[in-house]
Amino acid sequence: MDKKWQVFLLVAVSIFMSTLDSSIVNVALPFMMKDLSEGMGSIQWVVTVYLLTVSSLLLTFGRLSDIKGRPLVYRLGFAFFTLGSLLCGMSGSVNSLILARALQGVGASMLMACSPALIVDVFEPERRGRALGLVGACVAAGLTTGPVAGGLLLEYFSWRSIFYINIPVGVAALFFSGVVFEKNGRRSREPLDMAGSLLVVVLVAGMIVGLVKSGEWGIFSAEGLLCWGLSAGAGTGFVINARQIPYPLFDLGLLKIRLFILPLASSLTLFMALFSLIFMMPFYLSLACGFSPARTGLTMIVPFLFLLVVSPVSGALSDRLGSRALCVAGMGILTLSLVLLGQLAPSDGLSGILWRLALAGLGTAIFISPNSTVIMGAVPVNRRGVASGAEATARNLGMVIGVALSSAVFTYTFSRLTQGMGLDQYSPEMAGSFMAGFRHTMKAAAWVGGLGILITLARGNDKKTVKENTHEQI
C-alpha cells in the first residue's frame, strides 16, 4: 500500500475512535448515573470535561506538532487516549471517571490537532480535498456508529464496555504507527509558548463553563461574570503575549491571511447553526412527536449519513472548483433546512422531518471538506499544526456556542409562555409553548447560517490563490 494511504488509515482510525467515543458516551449517561448513584449535575461533567479539555488544548498540541513532529504527537495522543479509556472503565466513582475523561480528552486533543495536518503533509495539493473528504466520512461514520454500538454494548454489557473497546484499537494503532512513521517527521527548534498555552486554557475554560452554566447561574450572575471576566482577561493577555515573544503559540500573522481567518469564522458559524439543530431535534421528536428513544436515535442518524456519502465527493470537487462556491452552497442549504425546520409541525409526519434533516446533512457535507482544504492550504507548512488546531478549536467552540444559544433561546421563550415552568415539567398541554420555543430556536440558528453565508462570500475566489507550500515526508 502506498505510504500516504497508510498514513490516511492511521488518521482515519484516530478520527473514527475519537468521534465514536464522543457519541457513544452520551448514550451511556443514564446507566452511569444509576450505577454510580449520582445526579445529573455530576454526570454531565463526564461530557463537559472532555469537551473542555479537548477545546482548550487543541492549539497547544497543534503547535507542538509543528515543533516536535506530528508523528510523535499522534503516538502520544493514542497512548493517552488508550490509558484514559482504561481508567474510565475502571472508575469506581464519578470523580475518578471525570478525571479519567480529562486524560482521555488530552489524548483526543492531540489526535484531533495533528490529524488534518498529517493528511496535508503527505497528499499532493490536487488530491488533498478528496483525502480530507474521506476524513469527513470517517467523522460521520464515528458519529453514526456511536449510538448504535452503544445501544448494543449496553444491552449485553455494562457501561464500562464502551471504554474498554478502545483499548485493543489503541494498542494496534500505536504498533502500526511505529511502522508507518519511520521518523518523527519535520521538527523545529522553536520553543513552545507555555504562557500562551496556559492563557488559552483559561480563555476556553471560562467561556465554556460560562456558556454551559449560564442557564443555571444566569448570564449576568456573579459566577457568570467571573467566567466571562477570566475569559476576556486571558484573551487580552494572550494577544499581548503573542506580540511580545518571538515564537508565540499562535502566529498572529495568520490572521492577515484572508483564506485562513474567514474560512475559520465560516466553520464556527456552521457548527453553531448545525448544533442548534442537533441539540433541539431530539426534544422535538420525543416530546412533540412522541417518538420512542430508538426511533429518535435512528431519525437523528439521517444528517450524518449524508456526511458519510457526500463529504468525499465534495472534497474531490473542491480540488477542481475551489472552496468558495461549494461552501456558499453548503452553508445556504443548511440555512434553508433551518428555515424549513422552523415551519415544521408534528402533523407533517416522519417524511416531513426526514427530508428537512437530509437537507441539513447535505449542506454540512458539501461545506466541510472544501473549507478544511482551503484552511490547511493557505498557511505555510511550518504552521499547519497550528492551523489544524485552530480549525478543530473553531469547530468545538461552534458546537458549544450552538448548544448554549439554542438552549438560551428555547428556555427564554418556553418559560415566558409557561409562566416560568421548565422543560422538565413538560405536559401535553404545553405543546403550543414548546413549538413556539422550537420555532424561535430554528429561526435564530437560520440567522447564524445567514451570517455564515456572508462570511463565506467574503473570502473571495481561492482556486488560484491557495498553492502548495511544500511537500513534507512523514
Domain boundary among 248, 265, 280: 248
Which comes out higher in pLDDT, residue 77 or 427? 77
Query: 307: pLDDT confidence band, cut at 50, 70 and 90?
Result: confident
The pLDDT value recorded for residue 208 is 79
pLDDT tens digit string along 8-52? 888 888 778 777 776 677 667 667 777 887 765 577 678 778 878
**Are 444 and 405 spatial neighbours (Cβ–Cβ below 8 Å)?**
yes
Residue 240 and residue 360 share a domain? no
Choice between 12 and 296, residue whose per-residue pLDDT is larger: 12
Q: What is the pLDDT of residue 9?
A: 83
**Domain match, 178 and 207 both:** no
Answer yes or no: do 165 and 48 share one domain. Answer: yes
The domain boundary, picked from 144, 175, 191, lies at 191
User: Mean per-residue pLDDT for 415-419?
Assistant: 83
Of the listed ranges 5-14, 22-31, 89-98, 389-398, the least confidently predicted one is: 22-31
Please give the average per-residue pLDDT across 375-379, as a whole number: 80
Q: Verify that 156 and 93 share a domain, yes or no.
A: yes
**Percent of the chain topping pLDDT 90:** 20
Higher pLDDT, 451 or 416: 451
412 and 264 in a common domain: yes
Sign for the CA dihedral angle at 366, 368, 372, 375 comes to positive
In terms of domains, do 418 and 291 share one?
yes
Number of structural domains (the chain) is 3
pLDDT at position 473 over 50: no
Q: Do 175 and 108 share a domain, yes or no?
A: yes
Statement to judge: residues 357 and 231 lie in one domain = no
Residues 471, 329 share a domain: yes
Tell me how far apart the alpha carbons of residues 441 and 444 are, in angstroms, rounded to a whole number: 5
**pLDDT the model gives residue 182:** 63
pLDDT at 99: 93
Give mean pLDDT, residues 181-200: 76
Residues 54 and 167 in one domain: yes
The residue among 19 and 172 whose pLDDT is bigger is 172
Same domain? For 227 and 350 the reply is: no
Domain limit, last residue, from 151, 169, 191: 191
Structural domain boundaries, residue 209: 193-248
Q: Per-residue pLDDT for 362 more than 80?
A: yes
Give the separation between CA 448 and CA 356, rounded to whole angstroms: 18
pLDDT in tens, 205-226: 888 788 777 766 776 788 888 9
* pLDDT tens-place string over residues 319-356: 777 788 889 999 999 999 999 999 988 888 888 999 99
pLDDT for residue 309: 78
Average pLDDT value over all residues in the chain: 81
pLDDT top residue among 439 and 426: 439
pLDDT value for 188: 66
**110-162 confidence digits (pLDDT tens):** 888 777 777 777 777 767 667 777 776 777 677 667 666 776 777 778 888 88
Q: CATH number of the domain that 77 lies in?
A: 1.20.1250.20
pTM of the model: 0.77
The pLDDT of 409-432, averaged and rounded, is 80
Asked if pLDDT for residue 464 goes beyond 70, the answer is no
Residues 356 and 474 in one domain: yes
